[in-house]
Amino acid sequence: MTISFRESTTTDRRALQAVAAQFFVNGAVLASFVPRLPEIRDSLDLSLDELGAILTAGAALGLLASLWSPRIIAALGTRRALILFVLVLLCGLQIVGLAEAWWMLLLGSAVMLAADGVVDIAMNLQGSWLSSRRHAPVMNRLHGLWSLGAVIGGIVAAQAAATGISLRMHLIVVSAVLLVVLVFVGSGLLKVDEGTNIEFHDLRRPGRRTRQRWVTLVLLAAAGGFALTVELVSTDWAAFRLSEDFGASAGFAGLGFVAFTIGMTVGRLGGDSVLIRIGSDRLLRSAVIVSGLGLVVAAFAADQRLVIAGYMLAGVGISTFFPRLYDDAAKFPGRRGVALTWLRAGSGVTALIIPVSVGVLAESRLSVGAATAILTLPCTIGYLLVSLRSERPVF
């Protein structure tokens, strides 16, 4: 996909191309194994709650890595930190492909998610800096490229599963391609990071400044937790909704994940234009309504095709949740990456709970669809309430 860079300098154009490429490949990496989780579970003879426990342990290490991200980025800079931890992430992907026991899956997923914490913050910082220099914002489109990468990675993964290509060979090829892309990304990223902001907007009195800062960070973490819940449950459990509730094949079950990410891609690629036209508040309310409707259909529809359509609609609605949060966090005054760390911490704590929660609920008498609805629908409402808590912009 081509983004217009007419307002930018040559250096910024090249940097934005590199950041855009990194968003794309980051989505492709994660999507390379998520649609094949049912296959991985079967090959390792795991139950749904055991798989959920493994994903939770990996998410815990990812959270720990995020807490150190500001120091890592301060020491290495966003460019070098991103390059180094993309390589670590690809190593984790190979461990997943080689997994012959549950502990290997745990190790691989933990390495991937830990490295992704640093990569995610570094690329969003560079993306937000470049977006702020332009007349038209690009954060939704950058996150749209992440979703586009997830769509393509998901389609390839689903097709590989349907045609019998081994997971190991599939992930080796994916890693080789992404290494080539990393050469392009590393050479184009901004080599000098922007300085930290020392002012806290218009908060002049130290006491008020400190209180508002902490309230803002806590609300940012809460919003991240709510947004992560609806996105994570939809991506990780869409395939199980079709395979467990309908008995769909591995290839067809993977289409639930693909449909959701297609919806995310469409919503994000058009999100910046819609934001300019209707404003932030109306976009927020519209997104919550659309996502809630899609999640209800995906969870309770009795037809497989309607479930897939529901996931696609939910993806459109949820698509603008995180771009808004990441851009606001990247612009937060203070030490570089701290607010992004709070955002990821809120998301990370949620990620520790969600896989086990859905797994336990799905192992009960509830269907996978009902189990996901119990978590996603309240969190969609929670995201709206937290975002609208104050008349002045919360973030």
Q: What domains are there in the chain, each with its CATH number?
A: 13-191+205-387 (1.20.1250.20)
What average pLDDT does range 170-174 have in this prediction?
89
- Within the chain, where are the H helices? 10-31, 37-43, 48-98, 102-132, 139-163, 167-188, 206-245, 250-278, 280-300, 304-318, 321-330, 338-363, 368-387
Confidence label for 208 from pLDDT (cuts 50, 70 and 90): low
CA distance 22 to 119: 9
- CA nearest neighbour of 118 among 51, 214, 22: 22
Record the pTM: 0.80
- CA nearest neighbour of 16 among 126, 91, 99, 162: 126
Pull the structure tokens for residue 311. 């996931």
Q: Please check the confidence at residue 198 and state whether its pLDDT lies above 70.
A: no
Per-residue pLDDT tens for 23-50? 999 988 888 877 788 888 888 888 877 8
Contact 48, 41 (CB under 8 A): yes
Average pLDDT, the chain: 84
Per-residue pLDDT tens for 4-27? 544 457 888 899 999 999 999 998
What's the gap between Cα 254 and its chain centre? Answer: 18
Q: What percent of the chain has pLDDT over 70?
A: 92
Q: Helix, strand, or coil here: 112?
A: helix
Decide: residue 291, CB within 10 A, 0-12 exposed, 13-18 middle, 19+ buried: buried
Q: Please check the confidence at residue 203 and state whether its pLDDT lies above 60.
A: no
What average pLDDT does range 163-185 have in this prediction?
90
Q: Helix, strand, or coil here: 374?
A: helix
Strand partners, 197: 334
Q: What is the pLDDT of residue 196?
A: 56
Q: Please check the confidence at residue 224 and state whether its pLDDT lies above 60.
A: yes
Pull the structure tokens for residue 15. 């940097």
- CA nearest neighbour of 239 among 27, 41, 3, 9: 41
Contact 377, 253 (CB under 8 A): no
- CA nearest neighbour of 264 among 242, 245, 287: 287
DSSP state of 17: H
Contact 64, 72 (CB under 8 A): no
What average pLDDT does range 180-193 have in this prediction?
92
CA distance 375 to 27: 24
CA distance 180 to 248: 35
Q: What is the pLDDT of residue 282?
A: 87
Per-residue pLDDT tens for 96-142? 888 888 888 888 888 888 898 899 999 999 999 998 887 778 999 99
Per-residue pLDDT tens for 246-285? 888 877 888 888 899 889 888 999 988 898 888 878 888 8
Per-residue pLDDT tens for 68-107? 888 898 889 999 999 999 999 999 999 988 888 888 888 8
CA distance 298 to 312: 9
Per-residue pLDDT tens for 340-395? 888 988 888 887 777 677 777 767 778 888 888 888 999 999 998 887 764 344 44
Contact 160, 59 (CB under 8 A): no
Contact 123, 23 (CB under 8 A): yes
Q: What is the pLDDT of residue 122?
A: 93
Confidence label for 152 from pLDDT (cuts 50, 70 and 90): confident
Confidence label for 154 from pLDDT (cuts 50, 70 and 90): confident
Specify the higher pLDDT residue, 334 or 265.
Answer: 265
Q: Please check the confidence at residue 214 and state whether its pLDDT lies above 80.
A: yes
Q: What is the pLDDT of residue 389?
A: 66
CA distance 136 to 134: 5
Q: What is the pLDDT of residue 35?
A: 75
